Amino acid sequence: MSGTMIPIAGQPHQRVCYFFDSDIGGFHYGPGHPMKPTRIRMCHSLVMNYGLYKKMEIFRAKPATKREMTQFHSDEYVDFLSRITPANIGGFSKEQHKYSVGDDCPVFDGLFEYCSISAGGSMEGAARLSRDKCDIAINWAGGLHHAKKSEASGFCYVNDIVLGILELLRYHPRVLYIDIDIHHGDGVEEAFYTTDRVMTVSFHKYGEYFPGTGELRDTGIGKGKGYACNFPLRDGITDQNYKTIFEPVITEVMHSYKPSAVVLQCGTDSLSGDKLGCLNLSMRGHASCVKFVKSFNLPLLLLGGGGYTMRNVARAWAYETGLAAGVELGSEIPVNEYYEYFGPDYRLDVRSSNMNDLNSREYLERVKNIVLENIRSIGGPPSVPLQEVPRLPHDQVMDDPNQDEDMEDPDVRRSQRDRDAHVQPEGELSDSEDEGEGGRRNTKDRRVRIGSGFGIMDGMNRGKGPIHPFHIPAAVAAAAGDRSGTETPTKEKGSTNASVIGEEVAMDLDTPEPPLSTAPVIVHGEGATKEN
């Protein structure tokens, strides 16, 4: 039985594209590592069992290819990620040190496939937004904001956010990036540090905390001076205090910068009770940021990010998926594959704790005034010369997503493509053929071994050297297919077989292994259908 969904009054209807690949839950960073991709599958289980599939289109994006990743990342780095495995890791010790792979960013089975799925969803979501195929695109497997041009960092290997923004820049003159993860969005800021085409705004914990960047005075250089905005926070900030800084800053950014598209990284390690976080936001306080950004009615790409208490990550992202689709989810969690992990109350809410808020009113006001003054100093939106939109191979598929419809069996009552793209009209009283879709489950218990604790802060004091900002014009040229001496990037269908973890091993209480069958949705992307 589906959970309750309450329509939000007074909101305009917005078309939502939701990206999910069932393979994502099968990857495993290793024993004791806090990053668990299973959290995305837990979120998807809630999304399906609440019945949100009736309110939006669901797609399985094609995994990003090596060529597409090199629109931002260096060729050598991407090639290294595609070749290294746990079996041959001994032959790459020099490259591991060079690319900061190991420790926080371990080598695990299916590493490159994992990166491809994450990047593919963000890039296709951006492509659909640019072509007016939807108003909001969601990829909870994305949001890996620490990855650099030639370096892994903070559990992130490929920066899907930068790749998605580059896709948006082909059609949009100005893109706004907002980061509400507890960690500074250093990889995205560094990539666009020298351009005014992208404005980055990050609210994060600062001071003796990974990655150690994001100071108030870091505002960009050269042409990008003033277009990097950082709001450093202290431990324990509450919903109300967060609201008093987030909404005025974003309002001023919208007024001064006038973006034509927005990317919002929704890292949930800023929630109360996160295993690596130290802020005190409730689920509703976190979600209010999504609701506020959505209210500007701009093309919006919602991405995941950090979040290490999995049951809370799933709760928050499912609730925010509902807000994107124009409904508020009921507080009683419906029965789903991971139901036992939401005990003992089986409620959707993530509540704030009684921890002390070290962000005084005086401190927040002082920082807010400085940030607002920096934003106003840019003097209005920068102009962008008109130019022809460069064409890439996937444009044709995007322009005609139904080009393969003549190949479908006319005797089939309802094609899978139609089922995936079906959005239930308001007032429809019967699920009809969809009846029971949210309730299939397989509760066979498969277990994962968990070892000693491991934290993102372990890598904070390792010397990384000076930051070398990535120059945007080269990236935009690469996104346009103008890479000298190389072919234009092409879409290739990649394999996304998940790694097998093990048969008989112990289990951490908060680490469910994905069930053998997921919620019954068969999703597709860019005209290709792929069954789970």
Active site residues: 146
Q: Identify whether the C-beta of residue 118 lies closer than 8 Å to the C-beta of residue 161.
A: no
- Rounded to whole angstroms, the Cα distance separating 395 from 430 reads 37
E strands within 234-384? 261-265, 300-303, 327-329
- Rounded to whole angstroms, the Cα distance separating 146 from 265 reads 12
Q: Identify whether the C-beta of residue 273 lies closer than 8 Å to the C-beta of residue 311.
A: no
- Rounded to whole angstroms, the Cα distance separating 322 from 237 reads 25
Q: Identify whether the C-beta of residue 65 lies closer than 8 Å to the C-beta of residue 492.
A: yes
> How many C-beta neighbours within 10 Å does residue 244 have?
15
> What radius of gyration do the chain's Cα atoms show?
22
**Helix 239-257 and helix 283-294, axial crossing angle in degrees, nearest 10:** 20
Peptide bond preceding 344 in cis form (omega within 30 of 0):
yes
Enumerate residues 6+ apart whose C-beta is below 8 A from 274.
182, 268, 306, 307, 308, 309, 312
Q: Identify whether the C-beta of residue 352 lies closer than 8 Å to the C-beta of residue 272.
A: yes
- Cα 341 from chain centroid (whole Å): 23
> How many C-beta neighbours within 10 Å does residue 347 have?
14
What's the Cα-to-Cα distance from 267 to each of 88, 183, 271, 388, rounded to whole Å? 33, 9, 9, 35
Nearest alpha carbon to residue 190 among 168, 167, 164, 159 = 159
Enumerate residues 6+ apart whose C-beta is below 8 A from 428.
54
Q: Identify whether the C-beta of residue 223 lies closer than 8 Å to the C-beta of residue 250.
A: no
Where does 295-401 have alpha helices with state H? Answer: 310-324, 361-376, 394-399
- Rounded to whole angstroms, the Cα distance separating 24 from 313 reads 15
> How many C-beta neighbours within 10 Å does residue 377 have?
11
